Amino acid sequence: MPRKPIKDLYIPSGVEEDILNALSNNDKLYGLEIIDAIEEASQGERKIGLGSLYPTLHRLEKKKKLVKSRWGEEEDGTGGARRKYYNLTPLGKRSLEDLHKYRTKLYEWQSPSTKQISPSEHDEMLSSGADVAFGNGGNHLKKI
């Protein structure tokens, strides 16, 4: 049975999505590992500075509840400062999965090899696992 659309599909900013994707492939990462993972995955095309990373992580954790953090051990053997590790919450995992499903459906719909969808196909897309949210009569994406 298809799931009902989630009313609050969160469409993250580019930096937020990069961070969520980096965390989706790892159990826990600290700040510099997140930066390195994003840079490596993008083959150097995407770079996030510390001034963007930590406020974004804070927002994803405190306001959006998509990320959680925990402090590492006092002594980790490196002699450096204590590290704060981040990972996705269950809501963060589901939100990222829903976003990927939505984007897949959107790309399929936009593909030149596909026709314009009918109202019934549009309704089917909304009631499928795509979990999309539209505003203004279905013509524009609504960021929730």
Determine, yes or no, domain membership for 123: yes
Determine, yes or no, domain membership for 21: yes
Determine, yes or no, domain membership for 65: yes
Give the rounded distance of the alpha carbon of 29 from its chain centre.
Answer: 16
Residue in 109, 107, 113 with CA at minimum distance from that of residue 124: 109
Question: Residue 118 is part of a domain; what is its CATH number?
Answer: 1.10.10.10
Determine, yes or no, domain membership for 7: no
Longest dimension (CA), the chain: 62
DSSP per-residue string spanning 91-106: HHHHHHHHHHHHHHHH
Domain, as residue range, for 93? 14-141
Determine, yes or no, domain membership for 88: yes
Terminal C-alpha separation, the chain: 25
| pLDDT tens readout for residues 45-55 | 999 999 999 99
Give the rounded distance of the alpha carbon of 88 from its chain centre.
Answer: 9
List Cβ neighbours of 121 (8 Å cut-off, separation of 6 or more): none
Length of the chain: 144
Q: How far, in Å, CA of 97 to CA of 112, rounded?
A: 25
- In this prediction, residue 136 carries a pLDDT of 37
| pLDDT tens readout for residues 104-127 | 888 877 766 555 666 777 677 666
- Count: domains in the chain: 1
pTM: 0.69
